[in-house]
Structure formats: structure tokens, C-alpha cells
Structure 1
Amino acid sequence: MYRAEFADTLRLSIPIIIAQLGVVLMGVTDNLFVGRLLGALPLGAAGLANSLSFLMSSIGVGGLTVVAALVSKANNQSGGPAAVNRLFRAGLRVALLLSVLVGGLSVLLAYNFSLFGQTPEVTRLARNFMLILSVSLFPLLVFVAARQLCDGLRYPRVAMAITLSALGVNALFNYVFIKGVGPFPALGLMGSATATLLSRVFMAGAMLVYVYQAPNFRAYLKKEFNSLPITAEAWTILRLGIPGGLTFFFEVATFSLAVVIVGWLGEAQLAAHQIAINMASVTYMMATGISSAAAIRVSAAVGQASRDGIWRAGIAAFLLSVSFMSITALVFLTASDWLVTLYIRDNPQVMAIAASLVIMAGFFQLSDGVQVVALGGLRGLSDVNVPTLITLFSYWIVALPLSYVLAFPFGMDAVGVWIGLLAGLSIAAVLLTWRFFRRASLFLGNSNPKPQTS
């Protein structure tokens, strides 16, 4: 019965998954180069800086993703092209505003890195790394804002191609700037941060050039639309996007602060945690591709006033995410030792701890996949306030305190931190899923879904 739903969700989600995977693989690439070329200490510092920088950017990135759902909804209503144009320009304006605010907070955090209680060498390396990443937040948010037009209009392959190209740019510059090739000096750890900055500039530039030059978008970017006011759209994005961004922030903050807690346990635990969380981040970002497809398809059904369309889009996304995350869980549980050797081979202590954490990551794959798809479906319904409270409770009231208690008073070390994370994710998955189907059942629309095709 859901064959058409699965097919359409897959057509939409696979390019988004690849694009999301490319974004995360940039961080993985940084850690692979740093771990192999510089060792465990710089790896831990880079991981900590990357986690905290991602935390700072999460409000902007999470807030801007609502634009794709709004574009999809507007495109399925009358007056679509003009409304889509206003949303696109408003999204770029909001990206500029958020990059200034978030970038400033990131710099402030970098200059107060000592608050996290890390060792002096980790603090010094992580502070400098994060300052460079703070500058890169502007091109990152511009790219995220511009890609919402492509994703909302069901052209996700654009972001996929650009992100994969940027992944190659990032890998090349990592090697060149860390080692010092040709006329370029050896910058060590700071070379990896510089590579991230340049790859993000490439992404933003390539996305804007494509959007303004490709014929697929000309109907939405007519010159006569540029005089239309966008203040109302900008406020709508902020009204829906800030709670959505906070939802993303609470989850990312949980994992970023978990890095800090693990850092208190020691440098070996910090490096091991970074290896395991990198792997979990890859699968999570792939699940967010399905979540984004759910948001776009649910919002399109809302624009068509189709309650059955909302249900079908949601159920298809949930089933696809559970299927995918079940496979990744099996891989993590059966190949943990081999996966760790991809990052580091000359430190038995780090390798042993990392292997146990990868097994823990395997256990929370299903909870992670379910909760992120539920958030996508709720975003498609423009339901953002209650999900924000649910994530605040699940991650900050349950996950973080439990992680600390299990790690220190109960002496479970880094494994205790991951058990706490698993508990928070599981609670979020249950509550958010209930919220989505509750809201879908109350939607006032017709019961005859219109087909959504690519």
C-alpha cells in the first residue's frame, strides 16, 4: 500500500542523505587527517573544537531548515513563485543575521575555553582551532539558506553535488596545510581548520552561482519579484526557525557537553569518544536526510490540505529510518574494532575505549533515527514549540545529569556517559513520535491525498 510513498520519499531523501553525509564527512576527514598525521592529543582538541563550533552553528542551521518546508508548502498553493521568491530572499537575510550573532558567540566561547576544565595543551589548540571555525560560520549559513530553495522545490541533487565536491576540496587542503606542500607552510592543526573554512566558502559560492544561473529556478527569481517586501517572511522564518533551531541546539549541546564530561575523564577517553561520536554523527546526519524529506513531503500535504497525505508521508519516513538505522546498528555492533582502526592504530588504550563506545553507539541507532524523523514531520506541520520543550527535557533534564552520575559517582567512565545519552534519545523518540501522530490526527483537511511526485 505504501510502495509509492516509499519510492517518492527515497527519491527525495537519498540526495539529501548524501549531502548531509558529505557535511559530516568533512568533520570526519578533518579528524582522520589530524589523527593520522598529528596524533591523539590534537585529535582530541580538534574534536572538542568541532563539537562546540557545531553547537554554536546549530541554532542557525536548525533554524534555517524550516525554510525548505515553507517553500514546499508555498509551492503547492496559489501564488507559489512569488511566495517562494520572498522566502528565499528572507532566508538569506536571516542567515546573515544569524551568522553575525552565532559567530560572535563562537568567538566569545573560544576566548573563554578555560571554562571547560580541559588540560592546558588541549585548551590552547582547541581555542585557536575554534576561532578559525567561527569565521567559517558565515559561508556555512549562507550555503544552508540557499540550499533550502533547492530542497523545498525538490531539487536536492544540487546540494549533494556541491557538498561532495567540497568534501574533495576539504581533503586536499587538509593534506596541503597540515603537512605543508610546495609553497604552503606546514600549519599543523590550524591547517585543518583553514581547510574547513575554504571548503565552506566554496560551498556557499557554488550554491549561489548555481541557483541564480540554473533555468530550473528562473520562474522563482524573476526581477519583478525582487521589489516584493520580505519582512513578514523573515519574521515567519524567525518565529518558526528559532524554536526549531533551539530543538537542534538542545540535542547538539547534549553531545557537545558530553564531550566536555568525557574530557574530564582524561585525554585517552576524549580521543576515543571523538572517534565513536564521529561514526554516530555520520549515521545521524544520514537519518536527518530522511527527516528533511519527511518535512518537505508533510508540508506539501499540508499545502494540499490532505490529512491522509500527512499520515502516509510520516509513516513512510519512519519505516525507512528504522530500516536504515537497524543496518547501521548491526555494523557498529559487529565491526567495532575494525572501524576504530580507520582513525588510529598506534594507541591501544584509545583503541580499546573507542571500540566499547562504538558498541554503545550501535545500541542507540534506532532511538536516534526515530526521534529525528519525528522532528522532521513536526517541522512539516509547523509544530515547533512543544518539540523544543520535549528535547529540552529529554536531553538536559535526563541525558546530561544521568551521564555525569553514571560516569563519576557510579564509576562507569565513558561508557556511563553514553548510557545517559541513550536514555535521553529513547525518551525523545517516544514523546516526539506520539506528538507527530497526535498532531496529524487532529489536522483539519480532506482525506484524499494528492500524489506527490518528484
Structure 2
Amino acid sequence: MSIAIRPLLTTYRAEFSDTLRLSIPIIIAQLGVVLMGVTDNLFVGRLLGALPLGAAGLANSLSFLMSSIGVGGLSVVAALVSKANSQDEPAAVNRLFRAGLRVALLLSVLVGGLSVLLAYNFDLFGQTPEVTRLARNFMLILSASLLPLLVFVATRQLCDGLRYPRVAMAITLSALAVNALFNYLLIKGFGPIPALGLMGSAMATLLSRLFMAGAMLAYVYRTSHFRPYLKKEFNALPTASEAWIILRLGIPGGLTFFFEVATFSLAVVIVGWLGEAQLAAHQIAINMASVTYMMATGISSAAAIRVSAAVGQFSRDGVWRAGVAAFLLSISFMSITAVVFLTANDWLVSLYIRDSPEVMTIAASLVIMAGFFQLSDGVQVVALGGLRGLSDVNIPTLITLFSYWVVALPLSYVLAFPFGMDAVGVWVGLLAGLSIAAVLLTWRFFRRATLFFETGVPVLSANQVAK
């Protein structure tokens, strides 16, 4: 076995190192964004109690679902910047950066408007009047924070695409501290600062996102790394073509992210129909799976950046190596987490809860299911990143729609209720959808990479997209 592995490690050692160098800061930054919602929930639960916590949790979940369209849509910019930079076109990088900011403004208006509309129709979720009132007001403030969030994401794409991912990592970690501080000050009040209760937590999120956007823009415009791309003569160049490319590539990417997030959100609803114990157990297991998934998305982002750079250099070997290295890293990492989930499921559950044997039993079985779908989850997200690097987004969007909404959700319901498999049935359905997505997306990536490998021309170039 070691004889077979050694040549592989030797061949891909540089590829692994470069992918990890990009992945780790991106992973930390993405975990920081997710932890911001966790911070809100912790402060609200400790300082205000169960009812406001439920309202904040619901509003945060729905706001994350809505923002996924914008965040996923802008993620294509890093790949485009990487490609332009690999071709030594600083003017093109400048246009993409400015176009990304304009698209962020447009998406914040559109997605923010949908979020406000959803907030004013909270009655559709069948919550109590008090939860509806609190969640509506909380979500309205979160809707206002979408603009700075998407400006931060758009600016971050420039940094990631130019291979400076540590910038977003440092700013995001700083924003976590800002968020925690303002949660404490605004919920209970301090000196001249009035006590705002639950709305103080929402304001803390808004202020921390304003900090993130401001800090990111300040860093980009004041650091020497980016001066070659921000020359004054570039600012007169039009960006309409680049904005259209970002929208053409980004909207399918945003919908892909939305379909997956919505699938797991609706799975929570299905599990909730089974009972409170099943819902609590599901939340424990899905929380663990979400953490490992966010780590895999960092490898996916690195794959998109490295594949697109290879495309820009017309490097057939580079496209192949970047993709294979990302897949091998993701498979290795997710295999380790799968073993942990399968062998230490009871101990992992005990970290969350110890006073409910029923919930612990159900959760332990669901963590085992989470272990089984680690590989599928890691593979499908890396395949999406690689395809994004090849500017191939439309068919992958249809694949995810089919895998999650045609296969996963209906199968989850059928297995949970008519077949009586309870919460485990829901997770079997999710596993089936993820596995189908992993197979189809991986096949498509290597098919498209092979075409590039054979012909030496990009499967879908930016100019082709613009046309």
C-alpha cells in the first residue's frame, strides 16, 4: 500500500501544499461567518431566554438561506480574477473587482427586498404571535446588513483570487469579537447605551458586517499588494461586460448554493413533523456535519481558484493536477471525519446533551448516517469548485436541483413516513441525493477537464460567456 501511495504523494506534493495554503485561511474565514450567527444565538439564549432565542434562530436561518444566493453568486469572481491575473491582465482584474462591487449592490437590493418580503409574511411559518413579531423585526435588521455583507464578499473575491486569503480570515475573526462585544453592550445596555433586547443582537450583526466591509475595502485600497490593479487610469474602463459575465456565471452558482441550503432547511421541517426528540437529535447531527462541510468548501474554493488560473495559462496539466489534488485532499479529510463519526458517535453526542436518553439514542444513529455521507458531501462540493474554475455552472445547477429537490427531499419524506424509518429515513434520503450529486458532478468535472486536456482550449471562456 505504501508503495502505491508514495508515487502519488511525490507527484502531487506541490499541488497539495498549494491547495492547503489557499484552503486553510478560506476555511477559517467561512467558519467565522457561520460562527457569527452562533454568537448571536449564544448571547440571546444566555441573556434573554428561550422565546427570543427561538425567534433569533429562525430569523438567522432564513436570512442565511436568502443571503446564500448572493454569497454563492459572487463566489465566481475569485475564479475570474485568478484567471485574469494568471494572464497578466491587471486592467481586467480591476474591471472584475469594480463589476463585482456593482453586482453586490444589485444583489443586495434584490435579495434584501425578498428578505423584507419574507419578514412581512412570517405568518406563513405558523409560529406564535410573539415569535412572529420578534423574528420579523430581527430579520428586517438582518436584511439591511446584506449590503455590507455582500460588499465584503465581493471585495474578498479580489483578495482570494490574487491569493491573499489571510486578509478575509483576519478581518472575519476580528468581526467575531466586534459582534460579541456589541451583542453584550446592546442587548443589556451599558452607560448611555440603551438596552435594546433582541434587536440589540440584530444591530450587533449589522455593525459587525459594516466593520467587515469597511475593513476589507480599507485594506485593499491602502495596501501595496493591490496597487498594480487599482491604477487611476483603470477606473475609466467600462465594467458592463464583466458585470454581465459575473451575473451569467454567478446566478447559477448562487442558485446551486441556495438549493443545497434549502434542502437541509426543509429537511429540518420534515424531521420536526416526527417529534421534538427527533428534531433535537437532528440539530445535533447536522451541526457536526455542517462544520466538516464548511471545511470542504474551503478546499472547493481553492480548487476553483487554481483550476481557473491553469485555464488562464492554457495549462492542460495544471487543470488536471489542480482538480485531482483538491479531490484527494477532500477525500482524505472527509474519510478521517467519517471514521470519527462512525466510531465516536456516542461520545460526540454526549458533548451536546446528557440528560435525554431518547434524544441521545436518536442522535447517535444520525451521526452514523452523517459519517456515511461525509465522502459524498466532500466530493460534490469540490466538484462544484472545479467546475466553477472551468466556468461551467449551468448544468451543475440542474444537477444539484435534481439531486436535492427531485431525489433527496421526496425520498426523505417517503422513507420517514410511509416506510416508517423515522429520522434515519430523512438522512438516508439526504445521503442518496448527495451521492447522486457527487457522482454526476465528478463525472462532469473530469469530462470537461479531459476535453480541455485533449484540446488545450477552455471549455467555456469568459469571452464566450459574454457573447
**Is the pair's TM-score, using the shorter chain for normalization, greater than 0.5?**
yes
Displacement of 1:352: 5.4
Deviates more, 1:44-53 or 1:91-100: 44-53
Q: Which amino acid aligns with 1:222?
A: K
How big is the shift at 1:356? 4.3
3-state SS of 2:376 partner: helix
Aligned equivalent of 1:423 = 432
Q: Distance in 1 between matches of 2:55 and 2:103?
A: 31
Matched, 1:100 2:109: yes
Q: CA deviation at 1:389?
A: 0.6
- Supply the AA of the counterpart residue of 1:137: L
* 2-structure distance, mates of 1:353, 1:31: 24
Asked if the contact 1:117/1:264 (under 8 Å) is kept, the reply is no
Distance 2:350 2:45 in 1: 11
1:346-397 superposed Cα distances (whole Å, 9 cap, x missing partner): 7666555545444433332211111000000000000001101100000000
Paired-residue identity, %: 90
Q: Does 1:7 align with 2:38?
A: no
Q: Is 1:318 paired with 2:332?
A: no
Corresponding residue number in structure 2 for 1:30: 40
Select 1:47's aligned residue among 33, 36, 57. 57
Matched, 1:225 2:227: no
| Structure-2 separation of matches of 1:198 and 1:241 | 27
Instruction: Trace 1:55-70 onto structure 2 (pairs within 5 A).
Output: 55-70=65-80
Bigger RCO (CA 8 Å, 6+ sep): 1
Of residues 306, 311, 334 in structure 2, which corresponds to 1:302? 311
In the TM superposition, what is the alpha-carbon distance from 1:41 to its structure 2 partner? 5.3
What is the alpha-carbon distance in structure 1 between the residues aligned to residue 367 and residue 44 of structure 2? 20
Shift of 1:336: 4.3
Could you report, residue by residue, the CA deviation over 1:405-437 in whole angstroms, capped at 9, with x for unpaired residues? 233333444333222212111110111000000
Q: 1:34 to 1:337 in 2, by over 3 A?
A: farther
Letter in 1 for 2:291: V
Q: Secondary structure at the match of 1:409?
A: coil
**Is the partner of 2:238 in helix, strand or coil?**
coil
Pairing 1:372-411 to 2, within 5 Å after superposition: 372-411=381-420
> 279-288 or 423-432: which moved more?
279-288
User: Which one-letter code corresponds to 1:22 in the other structure?
Assistant: G
Q: How far did residue 192 of structure 1 move?
A: 3.2
Of 234-243 and 193-202, more deviation after overlay is shown by 193-202
In structure 2, the CA distance between the partners of 1:267 and 1:186, relative to structure 1 (3 Å rule), is farther
SS of the aligned residue for 2:295 comes to helix
Matches within 5 A, 1:340-379: 340=349, 353-379=362-388
Residues 1:29 and 1:349: Cα distance change in structure 2 (over 3 Å): farther
Q: For structure 1, which runs of at least 5 residues remain unmatched after alignment?
A: 448-454
Say whether 1:195 aligns with 2:199: no
Inter-CA distance 22–387: structure 2 relative to 1 (3 Å threshold): same
CA displacement, residues 234-255 of structure 1 (integer Å, 9 cap, x when unaligned): 0010011111111111111111
Separation in 2 of the partners of 1:153 and 1:56? 28
Deviates more, 1:286-295 or 1:264-273: 264-273
What SS does the aligned partner of 1:382 have? Answer: coil
Name which of 423, 434, 438 aligns with 2:447.
438
TM-score w.r.t. length of structure 2: 0.88
| Residue correspondences, number | 446
The whole-number CA distance in structure 2 between the counterparts of 1:313 and 1:293 is 9
Gaps (5+ residues) in structure 2?
A: 1-10, 458-467
In structure 2, what is the Cα distance between the partners aligned to 1:193 and 1:325? 34
In structure 2, what is the equivalent of residue 214 of structure 1?
223
Say yes or no: does 1:261 pair with 2:273. no
1:25 & 1:143 partners in 2: Cα distance?
16
Residues in 2 aligned to 1:233 and 1:102: alpha-carbon distance in whole angstroms: 21
One-letter identity of the residue aligned with 1:318: F
- TM-score normalised according to structure 1 size: 0.91
Tell me the CA shift for residue 112 of structure 1. Answer: 1.5
- Given residue 7 of structure 1, which amino acid in structure 2 is its aligned partner? S
